[in-house]
C-alpha cells in the first residue's frame, strides 16, 4: 500500500472543521485507490500563541521539511494582532520551504452561482501562477522616525532574475500541459519599469523555448477588468506576489467565493503546502456553517501533487457532483452543514 506522511495544520477559526472534512474525503479516496495518509497534527495558530507565546518554533519548521506534503486549514485569530500569525506561520513557511509558486485555479463548477452576468463554467476555467517568495512580500524596507509626523515608511519590491525565471518557467511548463496553451503575464510595465521590465524581458526570452505556448501581456489593472468582462480569455496567468494575492481574491469571487477557492504553495523540488485561500472566518467557528469545499479542493490539489492523479480526479468529480445540491456556497446558507457536505463528497468518492 502506498503511504504518505502529511503534516496537518488545522489552525484557527473554521480551519479545523473544514480541514476535518477534507481529511474525510481524502481518506475515502485513499481507501478506494489504495493508499494511506498518515497525518501528523500540529497545533500551530492563535490558541497556541495566546497560551505559550509560540508562533512557529524552529524545530517545527525543521520537522515540516520531512513530510511529503503539508495540509493547512486557516490562520488568523480575533484576539491576536493582525500580521503576527500570518507572517509567523504562513509567510515563514512559504519562505523557509522555498514554496516559490502559489498555484490558484479559478474554475467555476456547474451549479455554482456566479456573480458575473452571462458567464458560466465554459467561461471561467483558468489558473493563476503567483510568485510566492519575493516582491513586496520579501520584507525589504524599513522606517524612520516612526510615530512622528516625519515618519518615512519604505517597503520595496524585490525581484531577482532567479526568482522571476523559475516562476515563469513553471508557468510556461504548466501552460504546455493545458488544452489552450495560453500564458498571460500580468504586470505593470508602464509604471513599475524596473520590476516588470525584468519580468517582461525574461518572459519574452523564454517564450522562444516554448513555441507551442501562445503568450500575452496585460497590466494588472486591465487584468482585473478582463477577469470580469471576458474571463474566457485566460488560461494561465503568471504574476508577482502582490498582484497574485489581489487578483486571486477577485478570481475567487467569480468562481463562487472563498468557500470554494483553493491553492497550493508549491516547491516543485520539495515539500508543498496546500490550503484554502480564504481566511479563518472566526464568527462561523464551530457552527457547522463553514463551507469545506475550499479545503476539500486544496486536498485534491495535494493528491495530485503526491502523484495520485486518479484519486485527485475522483475527488474533483465528487465535488462537482455535490456542488449543485448545495443551496449556496456562502457560510450558513449551504442548505447543508459542514459535515454533511464532507459526508456527501466522501460518499461520492467511495
Ligand atoms: C493569501 C493571504 C496571505 C497573503 C496573508 C494571510 C498573509 O491573503 O494567502 O492570499 O497575503 O499571501
Ligand atoms: Mn490573499
Asked if residue 316 and residue 191 are part of one domain, the reply reads no
Output the ligand 1 site: residues, CB below 6 A.
Answer: 86, 90-91, 245, 277
For residue 175, being part of any structural domain is answered with yes
pLDDT of res. 69: 98
What is the residue with the minimal CA distance to atom 5 of ligand 1? 86
Residue percentage of the chain with pLDDT more than 90: 99
Asked about 188 being catalytic, the answer comes back as: yes
For residue 80, being part of any structural domain is answered with yes
Q: How far is the CA of 22 from the centre of ligand 2 (A)?
A: 21
Asked if residue 240 and residue 132 are part of one domain, the reply reads yes
Confidence tier at 209 by pLDDT (50, 70, 90): very high
Asked if residue 348 and residue 303 are part of one domain, the reply reads yes
Against a cut of 0.85, is the pTM above it? yes
Asked if residue 242 and residue 270 are part of one domain, the reply reads no
Q: Could you give the 3-state DSSP secondary structure of residue 196?
A: helix
Asked if residue 77 and residue 182 are part of one domain, the reply reads no
Going by the DSSP 8-state scheme, the letter that residue 87 receives in this structure is: I
Asked if residue 96 and residue 32 are part of one domain, the reply reads yes
59: buried, middle or exposed (CB in 10 Å: 19+, 13-18, 0-12)?
exposed
- Ligand nearest, relative to CA of residue 104: 1
For residue 186, being part of any structural domain is answered with yes
Residue 209 belongs to domain spanning: 115-254
Asked about 119 being catalytic, the answer comes back as: no
Asked if residue 158 and residue 241 are part of one domain, the reply reads yes
Average pLDDT over residues 42-55: 97
Give the three cell numbers for residue 129.
501562477
Asked if residue 349 and residue 226 are part of one domain, the reply reads no
Confidence tier at 225 by pLDDT (50, 70, 90): very high
- Ligand nearest, relative to CA of residue 294: 1
Average pLDDT over residues 27-47: 98
Atom nearest to 90 CA in ligand 1: 7
Point out the catalytic residue in the list 49, 245, 284, 304: 245
Q: Residue 334 and residue 14: Cα distance in Å, rounded?
A: 15
For residue 231, being part of any structural domain is answered with yes
> What is the total count of domains within the chain?
2
Strand pairing partners for 324?
A: none
Three-state SS letters, 250-276: HHHHHCCCCCCCEEEEECCCCCEEEEE
Choosing from 213, 237, 254, the residue where a domain stops is: 254
Asked about 245 being catalytic, the answer comes back as: yes
pLDDT of res. 317: 98
Confidence tier at 29 by pLDDT (50, 70, 90): very high
Asked if residue 119 and residue 93 are part of one domain, the reply reads no
Asked if residue 242 and residue 180 are part of one domain, the reply reads yes
For residue 208, being part of any structural domain is answered with yes
For residue 34, being part of any structural domain is answered with yes
CATH number at residue 142: 3.40.718.10
Atom nearest to 249 CA in ligand 1: 10
Asked if residue 58 and residue 1 are part of one domain, the reply reads yes
Confidence tier at 99 by pLDDT (50, 70, 90): very high
For residue 345, being part of any structural domain is answered with yes
Mutate to test the pocket of ligand 1, among 75, 91, 240, 247 (most ligand atoms within 8 A of CB): 91
Q: Could you give the 3-state DSSP secondary structure of residue 116?
A: coil
pLDDT of res. 275: 98
Mutate to test the pocket of ligand 1, among 15, 87, 106, 245 (most ligand atoms within 8 A of CB): 245
Q: How far is the CA of 120 from the centre of ligand 1 (A)?
A: 27
For residue 110, being part of any structural domain is answered with no
Asked if residue 17 and residue 85 are part of one domain, the reply reads yes
Name the E strands within the chain. Answer: 2-11, 35-41, 69-74, 101-107, 125-131, 135-144, 152-158, 182-187, 214-219, 236-239, 262-266, 272-276
Choosing from 220, 254, 288, the residue where a domain stops is: 254
Atom nearest to 94 CA in ligand 1: 12
Asked about 249 being catalytic, the answer comes back as: yes
Choosing from 204, 223, 254, the residue where a domain stops is: 254
Amino acid at each position: 500500500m502506498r503511504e504518505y506522511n502529511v503534516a496537518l495544520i488545522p489552525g484557527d477559526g473554521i480551519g479545523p472543521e473544514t480541514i476535518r472534512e477534507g481529511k474525510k474525503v481524502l481518506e475515502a479516496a485513499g481507501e478506494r485507490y489504495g493508499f494511506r495518509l498518515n497525518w501528523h497534527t500540529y497545533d500551530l495558530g492563535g490558541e497556541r500563541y495566546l497560551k505559550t507565546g509560540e508562533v512557529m518554533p524552529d524545530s517545527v519548521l525543521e520537522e515540516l521539511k520531512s513530510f511529503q506534503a503539508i495540509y493547512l486549514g486557516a490562520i488568523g485569530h480575533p484576539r491576536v494582532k493582525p500580521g503576527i500569525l500570518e507572517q509567523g506561520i504562513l509567510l515563514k513557511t512559504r519562505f523557509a520551504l522555498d514554496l516559490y509558486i502559489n498555484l490558484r485555479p479559478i474554475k467555476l463548477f456547474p451549479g455554482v452561482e456566479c456573480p458575473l452576468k452571462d458567464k458560466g463554467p465554459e467561461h471561467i476555467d483558468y489558473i493563476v501562477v503567483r510568485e510566492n517568495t519575493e516582491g513586496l512580500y520579501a520584507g525589504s524596507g524599513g522606517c524612520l522616525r516612526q510615530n512622528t509626523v516625519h515618519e518615512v515608511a519604505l517597503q520595496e519590491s524585490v525581484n531577482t532574475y532567479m526568482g522571476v525565471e523559475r516562476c515563469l518557467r513553471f508557468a510556461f511548463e504548466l501552460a504546455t500541459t493545458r488544452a489552450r496553451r495560453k500564458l498571460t503575464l500580468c504586470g505593470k510595465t508602464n509604471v513599475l519599469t524596473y520590476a516588470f521590465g525584468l519580468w517582461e524581458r525574461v518572459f519574452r526570452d523564454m517564450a522562444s523555448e516554448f513555441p507551442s505556448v501562445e503568450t500575452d501581456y496585460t497590466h494588472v489593472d486591465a487584468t482585473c477588468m478582463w477577469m470580469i468582462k471576458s474571463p474566457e480569455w485566460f488560461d494561465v496567468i503568471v504574476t508577482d506576489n502582490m498582484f497574485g494575492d489581489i487578483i486571486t481574491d477577485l478570481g475567487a469571487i467569480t468562481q463562487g467565493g472563498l468557500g470554494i477557492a483553493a491553492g497550493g504553495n508549491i516547491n516543485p523540488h520539495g515539500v508543498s503546502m496546500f490550503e484554502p485561500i480564504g481566511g479563518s472566518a472566526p464568527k462561523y467557528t464551530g457552527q457547522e456553517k463553514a463551507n469545506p469545499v475550499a479545503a476539500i479542493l486544496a486536498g485534491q490539489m495535494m493528491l495530485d501533487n503526491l502523484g495520485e492523479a486518479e484519486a485527485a480526479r475522483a475527488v474533483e468529480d465528487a465535488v462537482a457532483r455535490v456542488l449543485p445540491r448545495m443551496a449556496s456556497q456562502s457560510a450558513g446558507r449551504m442548505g447543508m452543514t459542514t459535515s454533511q457536505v464532507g459526508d456527501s463528497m466522501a460518499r461520492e468518492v467511495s
